Amino acid sequence: MDLPCPEWVLYVEQKWTELKTEGTERFCRLTDIDAIFNYGLSLIRPEDLNAFSRLSEKYSVQKSPERAPEFRQQGNLSFKVKDYTSAALYYSKGVCHADKNREEISLCYANRSAALFYHGLYRECLEDIRRALEAGYPSHLQDKLRARQTACLSQLKKPEKSNQTTTNNQTPPCQKIRNTRSCISPGVSVYFSPEKGRHILATENKTAGEVILEDEAFCCVLIPGKTFNTENRHCHHCLSQSLSFVPCPNCSYVRYCGESCQKDAWQSWHRWECHIGADLLAIGVLGHLALRVALKAGQNEVKRVKKSTSEEDHVTCSSYKSDLPVKLSLGDPCGGISDCYHGNTYMSIYSLLPHVAQHSPSSRFLLAITMAMLYRRLQGGPPPDMWASCENKGVSGTWEPEMSVLGATALRHMMQLRCNAQAVTAVMVKEESSMAVQSSSEIRIATAIFPVLSLLNHSCSPNTNISFTTGFQTDPLNQFVCSEDNDDHPKNSHSCVKATIRASKDLTPGQEILHCYGPHCSRMEVKERRRLLLEQYYFHCNCRACQRDLLEGSQKATENAAPGLKCVKCGKPLQSHMDGYKCSWPSCGHQITSADVQNTLKALQSLLDKAFHLMEQHRLDEALKILKSASSQANSMLTEIHPLQGELADVTARVYATAGEWSLASSSLKRSIVAIQVQFGEDSIELGRQLFKLAQLHFNGGDCGAALSVIPRAHKLLSLHCGPHCEELQELCEMERCLQGLL
């Protein structure tokens, strides 16, 4: 949830309407963010605090020790049916709710160690055994724990099979920006022009797949999910996936992949966030992230940045006499805050435009009241260390009036995040033992802000793609070194969320490096893209893709084309005609209304959804019967490139694969690939993942030649979009090695 909960939005809207005309006019005249925040703070009344408390109660993060045994029992039920993933997740929920001084937490750790053992996670199993024993696991049950411990050690003595992928195209090293955790490739530089502001250009030829830049998130916040979603599967500090979390000692929501992340998060921000955890869930991810950025920066850094920069919300261009781009170097003198390059530093975050004037008055009011409320709630605990004094005045541990700068700074970041927040994604693999072919999808797991990545401008058809690395890592290119000792990770590693930007197309010198902000030409019509970009990012998109689509749209309107639709009588393409469609073949002349077309598409989608549900219940014959009926209906009205044809063929392939009918599954998936290629493009990640599934089908069916013919293209696309270390790519390499060994 990015924005505050709907109940709070309605409450603030009511407060806005109740303001007298004098009050609204005064607020609308405010442009200084400090003044906007202080005005919002002055409006917070005791009844507002009470109303917000009632709203946040439903997001309670308090521990419920009485629920821990219930979660453990649910874990036991999953364990009995050998669903070890669900078992581990239930045991983790028990760990998060259990009292740290009671026996129950040791029982949850011990049971989870068993699930981890059967998952083959032997190191994690040993850690849970240690935790269970340290938490006072009953002595009369310890024998089986010791036996499991011995079995783990025995397994770990066996040689591990390397999963390293090999590639003939090694990525050239990046150049680390001094004193930062960002890395920009040679032949790529930051520029400024009055028209585009700061942007990034290629200064040398770059080949598709080459790393353009790597940037470490300044801060990130995990997105809350449902049941066993992101919050239960990812560390709340480094975002790495895990099944063996350790909890926050004081709340039930936050969990970590190990003691190192637990310690780091507590020192960095969680000790101040913990007591307002429910409030943070109520105000949404963007408000939470804005506060976290301000907490991390600290009072001294904010004061230094504010002192050294202008408070203007627009780019200062007076020192630039030409419209030509000017190359920027880290730390060079500049004319204003927003025409300098600051690398991966807090200055880079602060210098991003908050677009105060572009936010509507009611939107600014919502943000101001929300951040003022959060600041009031934060005052219920001790002030953060990095904000605890104002030039050594006041009593340590007390909130001084000057500390309101914390709230104002967080408000600035909340305004910036509307245009600069970056979704962090991960590939989620559906874990079903009965599924012979992997089913995966890309999901959003967190929202972050990246200092250098934020400089990239948008294109609806970008020339880059982005992938993310999470967890504790040691980067051989950047040589990042952690200054603190960690108990469960190497000393030269640190927790981070890193974005890697690769060229998706060959680039030439002078070409701008472009990133997609969300609306992509392969997934959305041009009018909808431009509307969304104007609404959220405040600009009219005039990228090449939009220009092309607008031109083609006008041509299609002239030609009355209706892509993907065909006449049910003669099979010729349909054309738009008044409020419906007409056959393009004059001798036929068949017509159909738009409403009839939409109703048919909805009916087909309903059949597809029903078949998918039956497939998940392993009722394969019923699913296949429905899919055949739906495909027959679709073939009479839709061409092979229509997206719905691709979806029908994909699900049909999955049903055949589950039944072990590899040849039929391959044939169906090939039909899906035709539609996917037209919809998303020949170089798309969507096509890469479909080809990966096709390689799996050929492999499982024993068709060595067909599998080896598909693997190179799938390998190329997955490398291009995901880098050399993604799990799918590793599996492809393993398949290829196995098949070549059989030839």
In the chain, the amino acid numbered 571 is: G
pLDDT per residue as tens digits for the range 56-107: 999 989 999 999 999 999 999 999 999 999 999 999 999 999 998 889 999 9
Q: What is the DSSP string of 273-325?
A: HGGGHHHHHHH-HHHHHHHHHHHHH-HHHHHHHHHHS---SS---TT--SSS-
Q: What is the pLDDT of residue 567?
A: 92
- Band of pLDDT at residue 555, cut at 50, 70 and 90: low
User: What integer is the mean pLDDT of 678-695?
Assistant: 91
Q: Where among 156, 171, 201 does a domain terminate? A: 156
Q: What is the pLDDT of residue 232?
A: 86
Are 199 and 205 contacting, i.e. CB atoms less than 8 angstroms apart? no
Distance of alpha carbon 709 from alpha carbon 724, whole angstroms: 20
Alpha helical stretches, state H, 309-424: 346-350, 361-378, 404-420
pLDDT per residue as tens digits for the range 56-67: 999 989 999 999
* Residue 486 placed within a domain: no
Whether the CA torsion 20, 25, 28, 33 is positive or negative: it is negative
* Residue 666 placed within a domain: yes
Strand ranges (E), 149-251? 175-176, 182-184, 188-193, 197-202, 211-216, 219-222, 246-247
Whether the CA torsion 551, 555, 560, 566 is positive or negative: it is negative
Tokens of 330: 């880290």
* Residue 26 placed within a domain: no
CATH at 648 = 1.25.40.10
Distance of alpha carbon 449 from alpha carbon 461, whole angstroms: 22
More confident residue, 213 or 176: 213
* 219 strand-pairing partners: 449
More confident residue, 662 or 345: 662
* Residue 151 placed within a domain: yes
User: What integer is the mean pLDDT of 551-569?
Assistant: 74
* Residue 654 placed within a domain: yes
pLDDT at 439 over 70: no
Q: What is the pLDDT of residue 311?
A: 46
More confident residue, 179 or 733: 733
More confident residue, 158 or 181: 158
Contacts with 445 (C-beta within 8 Å, 6 or more apart), sequence order: 222, 223, 230, 234, 239, 424, 425, 426
How many CB atoms sit inside 10 A of residue 421's CB?
23
Alpha helical stretches, state H, 572-661: 594-616, 620-637, 643-658
Is residue 361 classed exposed, middle or buried when 0-12, 13-18 and 19+ CB atoms within 10 A define those classes?
middle
Nearest Cα neighbor of 174 from 218, 201, 214 is 214
User: What integer is the mean pLDDT of 416-420?
Assistant: 94
pLDDT per residue as tens digits for the range 121-134: 999 999 999 999 99
Q: What is the pLDDT of residue 193?
A: 87
Distance of alpha carbon 414 from alpha carbon 355, whole angstroms: 11
* Residue 442 placed within a domain: no
Q: What angle do CA 353, 359, 363 make, to 5 degrees?
A: 130
47-77 exposure pattern, b = at least 16 Cβ within 10 A, e = fewer: ebeebbeebbeebebebebeebeebbebbee
Mean model confidence pLDDT for the chain: 86
pLDDT at 137 over 60: yes
Q: Where among 156, 187, 216 does a domain terminate? A: 156
Q: What is the DSSP string of 20-49?
A: -HHHHHHHHH---HHHHHHHHHHT--HHHH
* 447 strand-pairing partners: 221, 423
Distance of alpha carbon 66 from alpha carbon 50, whole angstroms: 28
Domain carrying residue 713 = 596-741
pLDDT at 637 over 80: yes
Q: Where among 135, 156, 177 does a domain terminate? A: 156
* Residue 669 placed within a domain: yes
Q: In this prediction, what percent of the chain has a pLDDT beyond 90?
A: 65
* Residue 143 placed within a domain: yes
How many CB atoms sit inside 10 A of residue 548's CB?
14
Residue that the structure tokens 């409030």 belong to:
279
User: What integer is the mean pLDDT of 463-490?
Assistant: 59
pLDDT per residue as tens digits for the range 291-328: 999 999 999 999 989 887 754 444 444 455 566 778 87
pLDDT per residue as tens digits for the range 191-230: 988 888 889 999 999 999 899 999 999 999 999 875 446 7
Q: What is the pLDDT of residue 327?
A: 82
Number of domains present in the structure of the chain: 2
Are 502 and 211 contacting, i.e. CB atoms less than 8 angstroms apart? yes
Q: What is the pLDDT of residue 331?
A: 53
